A and B are shown apart, each in its own frame.
Chain A
Amino acid sequence: MAQSPHLRIALAGKPNSGKSSLFNQLTGLNQKTGNFPGVTVDKHIGYCQLNATTRAQIIDLPGTFSIYPRTLDEKIVSEILVDATGENYPDRVVLVADATNLKNCFLLLTQMVDLQIPTILALNMVDLAAQAGMEFDIAQLQKQLDVPVVMINARTGSGLDELKEKMAAPLPKSSLHVYEPDAELIPILDKIQAELHLKSRHAAFIVLQQWNQMNFLPDPKKKELQQLAHDIRFFPAKYQGAETVQRYGFIQGVLNAVTSKVADKEWKKNTYRLDRILTHKIWGYVIFLFILFSIFQSIFLIAQVPMDWIDQGFANLSSYLSGVFPDGPFFDLITQGIVPGIGGIVIFIPQIAILFAFISILEETGYMARVVFLMDKIMRKFGLNGKSVVPLISGWACAIPAIMATRTIDNWKDRLITIFVTPFMSCSARLPVFAIMVGLVVPANNLLWFINLQGVALMGLYLLGFVAALGTALIMKLWVKTTEKSYLLMEMPTYRTPKWSNVGYTILEKTNAFVFEAGKVILAISIVLWVLASYGPGDAMQQAEQRVTAQAQQNNWSAEDTERVLAAEQLENSYAGKLGKFIEPAIRPLGYDWKIGIALITSFAAREVFVGTVATIYSIGSTDDTATVKGRLKAEVNPETGGPRFTPAVGFSLLIFYTFAMQCMSTLAIVRRETKGWKWPVIQLAYMTGLAYLSALAVYQLMA
């Protein structure tokens, strides 16, 4: 394989060792992110021209301390490195080591060597190590480990040419064997190795320990291994402990031989000084709240500017195209279905980009570990995790980037609960609905001289969503079962300035993932909804048109008025209108009529559509202007009672419904992507809609 022009090279190493920086340096924009089959672990793959003749496929493995996995990410690593027949099995591995902390990094290195995968050791952060006063004898290190050693700086890119050269050159396996299993196990391991075509005895040893984690094994094989492990009374934990101690014994010997000076604590004094403030019992939270507030404000306000451009741009494109195209259902589909549908996807990009810029900076600087440190205890009470805080708060702006941000949570159960409850946080799309309904049913009186009653009601709705999120998390904590234990055990990295190109790559990667994976579902549903609202059964639509035209001629309506009434009539006679009437019996107990029913259906695409639909159905014309819509709704009369249609009971019932209901297909699409299937989005939709329905029912029945 060594001479093959197409090499597969994996980057391995502990978290924070600079692996991703090296990956970005090697592959540049020539990278893409996919998923490992069956799990939601990002698979980063890129290509790199090592020299004139050799091109390499680079896989950036998730960061791990060893090949004994704790999390989903780490399971992937051990499976890839063990399964020699798998499609991701690397020809060679570049082990990225943090030079300031070689001891921890070498554990994984000795495991690679025992797996007999040809390995190159890339010593990263040698500049920091030098600052700390450490010195290494590289020649000695090379000799002791029998692997090529290259010093690099993954941030600046220095040392990369030498690394590429070594990556392309023929690379023999290291002659070293660090850990030998007990003698009585050896015949059993050799048999497993031969049967499964593994590359080393150590790989067989890992399979025997972790047969249930190895997805490449067929079920009967797993049963066989389970029986075998039982028969020879094989206890993985005992062996792993002994193995780790033995490896560290070896590592200490190597380090004693190659390091001439150990690190003094001085170089970390800035980190300790910062930690004293950033994890302070008062200032720590004040600063964290300030940072959260900045993120929230940026997503909410700064993103608004490009979002308005996108909104306007797509509206213009749509009307331009409908002017150019001839009439006909196919062109209508393009101008009114597809173009606005794509617009509905693109509109989220500013928020996603801004949130991930912040998150990436928090991770790059090392502050994210402190956030977890500060919040872990509080969040754990609710079945969440210190890392759930950022997604939850971001949910107040938009649930979509927030749910994508849960990937930083490595415990699956904690992550699932965070994904599940995030849509309860009142996002910015609920605001237009809230604004209209609160304005309609809550008097604008001042409670005290500066506290406005409408403001209090609005804040109450936000709080209500937050309480629902925490309450649901508590329920799920008891309900969702997991075999994966929740650990914290997390490195507190030294503070560093962020590397901006890494921030850029993160933004690109997340935006791409959203547009191309969730985008498909969003586009499909928005086209379906458009068809429902634009076409009706039989000739109901044509009849409506004829009726309105006749009326218009009789009463001498202006063209604008005619169009207004026509739009309302057409919506009433469309499939969406029929559906609205069909669900009327179900929503009547909540105080809604079929007109509100139509708005509920169309706003399933996105909550803010409620306003536009209500404007159309009450023939206000195509306006989103809150004051106009509000004024018209206020005057709407309920034909059964003769009183106003939007009584306080109906208004509050709607407010509560929109606080709890899922009403956002983009969120569903992203939940499907993040949980790898329709199971969780469907449960979430049912739960949230159910809760919304029952709460709105209770509110209406109590108030009416």
Chain B
Amino acid sequence: MAPGETAVIAGFHDEELSVKLLEMGFLPGSSVRFNYAAPLGDPVCVTISGFDLSLRVSEAATIAILR
């Protein structure tokens, strides 16, 4: 994804982490917007249901998205 793009969450690849992601509001079917990345490319800042948070690229990579 490029900064400014929006995608829909399809599912998760990592079961343990998925619980945490779900709690923060990453629900399958909801849309997630990639706002910007940190200067070194990691971590990234995203918006999910009006809520801004940052996560590492390795963590974001466990989220399956549909575009």
Contact = CB atoms under 8 A, between A and B. Distances in A.
A488 interface: yes
A373 B43 contact: yes
A65 B38 contact: no
A272 B36 CA distance: 10
B22 A101 contact: no
Contacts of A611: none
Interface in A439-493: 485, 487-493
A530 interface: no
B53 A492 contact: yes
Given A68-B23, A237-B15, A376-B56, A285 B50 contact: no
Given A244-B23, A376-B56, A263 B45 contact: no
Interface string A278-298: 011110110000000000000
Contact of A244 (B16, B19, B40, B43): B19
Contacts of B20: 70, 487, 489
A374 B42 CA distance: 9
A377 B19 contact: no
Interface string A223-249: 000000000000001101100110010
A377 B41 contact: yes
Given A238-B15, A285-B39, A373-B45, A103 B22 contact: no
A241 B23 CA distance: 9
A606 to B, nearest CB: 39
A488 B39 contact: no
A342 to B, nearest CB: 44
A286 B66 CA distance: 37
A369 interface: yes
A240 B18 CA distance: 9
B8 interface: no
Nearest to B27: A248
A65 B24 contact: yes
A376 B36 contact: no
A279 B36 contact: yes
Given A241-B22, A248-B25, A488 B43 contact: yes
Interface string B23-67: 111011000000110111111010001111111100100000000
B15 A104 contact: no
A492 B52 contact: yes
Contacts of B28: 245
Interface residues of A, number: 45
Interface in A85-104: 100-101, 103-104
Interface string A373-390: 110111000000000000
A525 B53 CA distance: 46
B53 A237 contact: no
Contacts of B7: none
A573 interface: no
A509 interface: no
B21 interface: yes
B27 A68 contact: no
A281 B16 contact: no
B36 A275 contact: yes
Nearest to B36: A279
B54 to A, nearest CB: 5
A492 B43 CA distance: 12
A240 B22 CA distance: 9
A66 interface: yes
B16 to A, nearest CB: 5
Nearest to A263: B50
Contacts of A485: 16
A245 B27 contact: yes
A488 B56 CA distance: 6
Given A285-B39, A376-B42, A245 B50 contact: no
Nearest to B21: A489
Given A104-B51, A373-B54, A492-B54, A284 B24 contact: no
B21 to A, nearest CB: 7
Nearest to A374: B38
Contact of B54 (A100, A241, A369, A378): A369
Contact of A279 (B27, B38, B42): B38
A107 interface: yes
B29 to A, nearest CB: 10
B53 A491 contact: yes
Contact of B50 (A101, A281, A487): A101
Contacts of B56: 376, 487-488
A275 B47 CA distance: 14
Contact of B22 (A245, A285, A374): A245
Contacts of B55: 488-490
Given A281-B39, A373-B38, A104 B18 contact: no
Contacts of A490: 53-55
A281 B28 CA distance: 32
B8 to A, nearest CB: 15
B35 to A, nearest CB: 8
Interface string A117-150: 0000000000000000000000000000000000
Which of A65, A241, A485, A491: most chain B CB closer than 10 A? A241
Contact of B19 (A241, A263, A280): A241
Given A374-B39, A377-B43, A491-B53, A107 B27 contact: no
B21 A491 contact: no
A444 B43 CA distance: 46
A261 B20 CA distance: 28
Nearest to A272: B35
Given A377-B41, A489-B59, A103 B23 contact: no
A103 B41 contact: no
Contacts of A280: 39
A21 to B, nearest CB: 20
A248 B22 CA distance: 9
B43 A376 contact: yes
Nearest to B39: A281
27 contacts: A65-B23, A65-B24, A66-B23, A68-B19, A68-B23, A70-B20, A100-B50, A101-B51, A237-B16, A241-B18, A241-B19, A241-B22, A245-B28, A275-B36, A279-B36, A369-B54, A376-B38, A376-B43, A377-B38, A377-B41, A487-B17, A487-B59, A488-B43, A489-B53, A489-B54, A492-B45, A492-B53
Q: Which 8 A-B pairs have the closest CB atoms?
A: A281-B39, A244-B22, A492-B52, A240-B19, A377-B40, A237-B15, A488-B56, A66-B23
Given A68-B23, A248-B22, 19 more contacts: A70-B20, A103-B25, A103-B49, A103-B50, A104-B25, A240-B19, A245-B27, A245-B28, A268-B52, A275-B36, A275-B45, A377-B43, A488-B43, A488-B54, A489-B24, A489-B53, A490-B53, A492-B52, A492-B54
